[in-house]
């Protein structure tokens, strides 16, 4: 049963006349009559009673009419929704965000810009550390993620840098170097234990911290490990060591912690939007395009 047959049937029912229906449809009356006859044969029931000056629905025709009268509008709506999905204007996008990224103003701006541009997309946001998000991408549990990039991710993921933040030293509030506002030489912390994420949990910040200390002329003494930056800061606040964290962490204003800018490190902490290399999903492309417009990506991963 073709949709055009339904449209022909509904027009004849509306007009009450094969002649007027044919004129409205822009086809000849004989072809229209043949199409309706073919529809009746397919259904196995007579739909119209032919009258001298028109046509009226039979009982079978009225029942059929009640069931199919909305089909053309529903088909048009379905086609429109399909076109929206093809353009990435509708569907579900699973976005992973590292917890520290939410403290960076650019990330909420990217998400807000995407919601404004694609309000019909069901955006589902999950939070995790960067290593967990990279694994979630590879396992197809999220479609893309905003994370701290690592060289270990690049074999199967595309990472495009959104921004690069300076590193700051996080010190216990009662640390001898906590009160000065001057930039701190990193080597001044050589005797302190450094609280970092384990390598298998937070590869990016772990590697950055060790390399920054090496460049400053010392091998850091590693203190207690912590799985996330929030837990790192908790241990720093407890006086168990110092840490290097992205500058945006100073927004937390946690009690018991002093943040000091560093005087002599070129190392930064990056945030990137990452997605599977094989991904061709238009929803992913639309988010990345929005992120580019919003944040002016500084480099390709």
**What one-character-per-residue DSSP string does 127-173 give?**
E--HHHHHHHHHTTS-SEEEE---GGGTTTEEEEEEEEEEEEEEEET
CATH of the domain at 156: 3.40.190.10
Residue 158 counted as domain residue: yes
47 & 191 share domain: no
Residue 74 counted as domain residue: no
| H helix or E strand, kind and range, residue 50 | strand 48-51
106 & 250 share domain: no
Residue 157 counted as domain residue: yes
Residue 26 counted as domain residue: yes
Domain that holds residue 95: 88-162+270-300
Q: Which residue has the higher pLDDT, 103 or 46?
A: 46
User: If you average pLDDT over residues 245-252, what whole number do you get?
Assistant: 84
150 & 192 share domain: no
Query: What total of structural domains would you count in the chain?
Result: 3
Q: What is the DSSP letter of 262?
A: B
129 & 203 share domain: no
Among the listed ranges 1-5, 58-62, 148-152, 205-209, which one has the minimum average pLDDT value?
Answer: 148-152
- Reported confidence tier of residue 219, pLDDT bands at 50, 70, 90: very high
Please, is 117 exposed, middle or buried when counting C-beta atoms within 10 Å of its C-beta (0-12, 13-18, 19+)? middle
- Work out the percent of the chain whose per-residue pLDDT is above 70: 95
Residues 133-186: tens digit of each pLDDT: 988 999 999 999 998 887 666 678 888 888 888 899 999 999 999 988 889 999
Residue 126 counted as domain residue: yes
35 & 102 share domain: no
């Amino acid at each position: 049963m073709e949709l055009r047959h339904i449209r022909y049937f509904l027009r004849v029912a509306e007009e009450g006349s094969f002649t007027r229906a044919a004129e409205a449809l822009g086809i000849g009356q004989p072809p229209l009559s043949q199409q309706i006859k073919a529809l009746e044969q397919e259904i196995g029931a007579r739909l119209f009673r032919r009258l001298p000056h028109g046509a009226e629905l039979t009982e079978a025709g009225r029942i059929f009419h009640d069931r199919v009268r909305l089909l053309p509008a529903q088909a048009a709506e379905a086609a429109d929704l399909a076109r929206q999905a093809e353009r990435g204007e509708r569907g579900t996008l699973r976005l992973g965000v590292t917890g520290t990224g939410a403290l960076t103003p650019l990330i909420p701006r990217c998400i807000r810009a995407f919601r404004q541009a694609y309000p019909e997309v069901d955006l589902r946001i999950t939070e995790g550390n960067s290593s967990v998000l990279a694994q979630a991408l590879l396992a197809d549990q999220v479609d893309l993620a905003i994370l701290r990039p690592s060289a270990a991710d690049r074999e199967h993921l595309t990472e495009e840098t959104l921004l690069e933040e300076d590193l700051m030293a996080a010190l216990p509030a009662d640390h001898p170097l906590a009160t000065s506002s001057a930039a701190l030489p990193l080597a001044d912390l050589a005797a302190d234990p450094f609280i970092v994420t384990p390598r298998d949990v937070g590869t990016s910040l772990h590697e950055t911290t060790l390399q920054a200390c090496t460049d400053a002329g010392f091998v850091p003494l590693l203190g207690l490990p912590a799985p996330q930056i929030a837990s790192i800061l908790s241990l720093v606040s407890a006086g168990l060591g110092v840490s290097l964290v992205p500058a945006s962490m100073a927004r937390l204003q946690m009690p018991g912690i002093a943040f000091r800018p560093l005087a002599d490190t070129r190392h930064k902490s990056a945030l990137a939007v990452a997605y599977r290399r094989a991904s061709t999903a238009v929803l992913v492309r639309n988010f990345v395009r929005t992120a580019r417009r919003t944040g002016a990506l500084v480099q390709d991963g």
